[in-house]
Homo-oligomer: A and B are copies of this chain.
Amino acid sequence: MSDQPETSCKTVLAGTIAKGLLAEVKQGLSELNAKPPHLYGILANDDPAAKVYADWTGKTCKENGFEYTLRTVAKDDAEEAIIAANQDDSIDGIIVYYPIFNNRQDQYLQQIVDVRKDVEGLSHQYIFNMYQNIRFLDDKHLQKSILPCTPLAVIKILEYLHIYNTILPYGNRLFGRTICVVNRSEVVGRPLAALLANDGASVFSVDITGIEQFTRGAGIRKRKHEVVEKEGMTLDECVPLCDVVITGVPGHKYKFPSHLLKEGAVCINFSSEKNFGPEVKERASIYVPAIGKVTIVILLRNLLRIVQNNRSQKVPTPALANGEP
């Protein structure tokens, strides 16, 4: 051991984490013992990034034994395309590449997708279950509710990094952890903060309007999280308390103030921009610079779960990896 190693930070790449999850998905797929699940993509915008994501989805599907069809339509035909896909029995899951209208009409479209084909977990029923900490769709606990892909990808990364403590009971495995989420969008940041707090963490949710704390209260006695506004609290006060910092700020100008990090903090960035500068490694114990490769596997995992859920409505069979989100 040299006296002054360069840094003690371990960088963990999403590809490494994705491998194990993909193996689980392939195992589940082989146990399904049926024709390959069919994912149907609807692309109704001109955003080149959406096209890249659509092509990447298709590639990952085909490489791993899933069927994938991409349909490109005009904005105003998206609604009819979704309705047609809902009614097509050859289609198991639907993914719509947003934004389309980039306003509330997109939320309207999200509710058009049949809940039994909603691999993105954007249906109101799934979102409601997520915030309310309701983990199953049925009383017998055979069908797990579907969680949105990016927040679930972050959770799977935290499990891989042993931030979830499996010594604690399922549902409480983040008890004792303090986590900061920089982003409070309805798509990722707020659901993620809620999921982490529902699992027992004390979460500081940060955006430009201020800081909110999500917890299950003293001794995590509440059955779901509650939110408290931390009027006047700044990053300077909140970050040094945090074991884990998760960032998702769009725009290349933003850099997280890494000098505030607690020694040995775990840092995860889900933005497509590098929210952490290289100096993050001076203080962090673990750094995950991007999560995209995990997110795409979660999409396949959700598709598999949906196929399993729809089957178990007919013949009851245990859900994939029962007892895990």
Contacts and interface: CB of A to CB of B under 8 A. Distances in A.
Interface string A140-176: 0000000000000000000011100111110110011
A17 to B, nearest CB: 10
A4 B8 CA distance: 42
Contact of A162 (B4, B165, B202, B218): B165
Nearest to A6: B221
A59 interface: no
Given A3-B222, A8-B172, 15 more contacts: A5-B221, A7-B219, A8-B221, A161-B165, A162-B166, A162-B167, A175-B263, A176-B243, A176-B263, A176-B285, A200-B264, A202-B264, A218-B283, A219-B263, A219-B282
Nearest to A166: B162
11 contacts: A3-B223, A8-B172, A8-B221, A10-B167, A161-B165, A161-B167, A162-B165, A165-B285, A176-B243, A176-B265, A176-B285
B5 A168 contact: no
A220 interface: yes
A283 B162 contact: no
Contacts of A166: 162
A54 interface: no
Copies in the complex: 2
A70 interface: no
Interface in A47-74: none
Interface in A157-209: 160-162, 165-169, 171-172, 175-177, 200, 202
Contacts of A223: 1-3
Contacts of A220: 8, 263-264
A286 interface: yes
A264 B176 contact: yes
A168 B286 contact: yes
Contacts of A222: 3
A202 B8 CA distance: 14
B263 A218 contact: yes
Contacts of A282: 218-219
A29 interface: no
A266 interface: yes
B218 A175 contact: no
B8 A175 contact: yes
A262 interface: yes
A12 interface: yes
B221 A4 contact: yes
B285 A175 contact: yes
Nearest to A284: B176
